[in-house]
Amino acid sequence: MSDDFYCDNVLSGKIDVNKVHETDNVLAYHHTRPFWRTHIVVIPKRHISSLLTLESSDDALFMELFEVIRKVADSVVAEKGAARVLTNLGDYQDSKHLHFHVYSGDRVQK
Ligand SMILES: [Zn+2]
Is this model's pTM higher than 0.85 or not? yes
Q: Tell me how far apart the alpha carbons of residues 52 and 30 are, in angstroms, rounded to a whole number.
A: 24
pLDDT at 99: 98
Set out the domains of the chain in order of their start, with CATH numbers.
5-104 (3.30.428.10)
25 — phi, psi (to 5°)? -120, 0
Query: What is the whole-number distance in angstroms between the Cα of residue 17 and the centre of ligand 1?
Result: 16
Bridge partner residues of 102 (DSSP): 40, 85
Query: What is the whole-number distance in angstroms between the Cα of residue 90 and the centre of ligand 1?
Result: 15
Query: What is the whole-number distance in angstroms between the Cα of residue 56 and the centre of ligand 1?
Result: 19
Q: Which residues surround ligand 1, an ion (CB under 5 A)?
A: 4, 7, 47, 97
Query: What is the whole-number distance in angstroms between the Cα of residue 81 and the centre of ligand 1?
Result: 32
pLDDT at 31: 97
The tens place of each residue's pLDDT in the chain, 110 residues long, gives: 689 999 999 999 999 999 999 999 999 999 999 999 999 999 999 999 999 999 999 999 999 999 999 999 999 999 999 999 999 999 999 999 999 999 999 999 76
Query: What is the whole-number distance in angstroms between the Cα of residue 27 and the centre of ligand 1?
Result: 13
pLDDT at 1: 62
Query: What is the whole-number distance in angstroms between the Cα of residue 85 and the centre of ligand 1?
Result: 20
Strands (E), the chain: 19-22, 26-30, 36-44, 84-86, 100-107
pLDDT at 2: 81
Query: What is the whole-number distance in angstroms between the Cα of residue 48 and the centre of ligand 1?
Result: 6
